[in-house]
Structure formats: structure tokens, C-alpha cells
Amino acid sequence: MPLPSSPRPGFFEVLATRRAYTTLLYLLLSLATGGFAFTFAVTGLSLSLSLAILIIGIPVAVAFLVGTRLLSVAEVHLLKALVGDGPAEAPALLPGGEGWLGRLKVLVSDRRTWTSLLYFLLHLPLGIAYFTLMVTLLSLGLGLLAVPLAHLFHFNGSFNLDLCGGAWIIAHSGLALLLCGLAGLVLLPLTLHLALLLGRFQVWLASHLLVRA
């Protein structure tokens, strides 16, 4: 069952949409969660392959694959809580089978075990991109929005607007202040809409690699 997608609010309505801010939180957290998932996947694969010739390599590999399934379940629930809208079916922690040997065989042969590893390897570069993009846009939007507010509180007229050092900006500082405020007012909802779009993409990716691979 695929994860549900987020609702699509109006342009400025997104500023009052709780889901937009929780999705933004997920995207910002992706830098940390992606780093952990990537490290787990690379370390687990390296240990499992390097210890494959030893007896201890078998329990290490099994623990790694079980941990992969556990992380996939945790990721689906995190997406459900911060990005999704409504109940969603999480993947089973362990695949079905007769006895532990049967379950172990299915665990190794189940395609979703390996697509989950692929998801975790992709999570770090995506998390870096999400974090960088959201922080940059939020900083720019809030900075532009703060320009006319900062000028408003300088009643003595000593506030100096010099965004680009251009003569036009100096000559038309009032219009430049207005344009900065409008640009910030437009950029902030655009950032939240982009966050919802990226959240829907992450839900789509998780649906195909973690849930119904």
C-alpha cells in the first residue's frame, strides 16, 4: 500500500498549513537521518562482506539485514508522521516463512531488503540537497522580508539601504524596500510549497523502495 501524499493548499494558505512546517522539519532532519542511514548501510555492507569468510560473519550479516528492515519501518513511520496524511501500511519487520530458517531465507531473497539499502544510500545526498536548499531559501526569504521591517524601526532616517550598491537603489530606496518586502513575502510560501513537493517526492520514493518494492 503506497504512502499517502500531502494535501495541496493555496499559495498563501500554505503559511497556515501545519503539514507544510512538519514536512519542512522532515527535510531539515534529512541531513542527520540520511547521514545515519548512509553510515549504517555502508558500515553494515563492509562488515558483512569482510567477515563473510568467517563464522561470525553470518550473525553479523543477519543482524545487519534485520537492522535494515527495522530502519525501513522507522523511516516509513517518520514519513507518515511528518509528511503523510492519514494512516499508511508500514512494511513488515520480518518477512513470513516457516521457522527462523525459512524467514532468514526469505529475508535474504526479499527484494525489499535490498531496495531498502538503496534507499538509505540515496538518503544522504538527498538529505544534503534538501537541507541546503531549504536553509538557503528560508534565509533569503526571511532576510528580504526583514529589510523593510528593519527600516521601519529606524525612525531617525539613519538606516542605509545598500543591497547591490547601485545608484538606482539609493535613489529609489522606498521602492527598493517595498520590492524586497514583496519578494520575501512571495518567497516564503514558495519555499513551503517546494517543501511539500519534495516531501511528496520522498513519499513516492519510500513507497517504491521501502513499502512495495
Interval 35-82: pLDDT, tens: 999 999 999 989 888 887 888 878 888 889 889 989 998 999 899 889
The answer to whether residue 137 scores a pLDDT higher than 90 is yes
Distance, C-alpha 52 to centroid of its chain: 34
Closest C-alpha among 74, 84, 59 to residue 116: 74
CA distance 174 to 163: 13
Q: What is the pTM of this model?
A: 0.79
The 10s digit of each residue's pLDDT in 145-197 is 877 776 666 544 444 545 445 444 544 456 666 777 787 788 899 999 999 99
| Nearest Cα to Cα of residue 67 among 88, 89, 48 | 48
Q: Judge contact between 137 and 194, C-beta under 8 A.
A: yes
**Whether the Cβ atoms of residue 115 and residue 102 lie closer than 8 Å to each other:** no
Closest CA to 203 of 77, 35, 67, 58: 77
Residue 29: pLDDT over 80 = yes
Residue 106 CB contacts under 8 Å (≥ 6 apart), including other chains: 95, 96, 97
Q: Give the model's pLDDT for residue 90.
A: 63
Residue 7 is predicted with a pLDDT of 55
Q: Report whether pLDDT(116) > 50.
A: yes
Angle among Cα 179, 15, 25 to the nearest 5 degrees reads 110
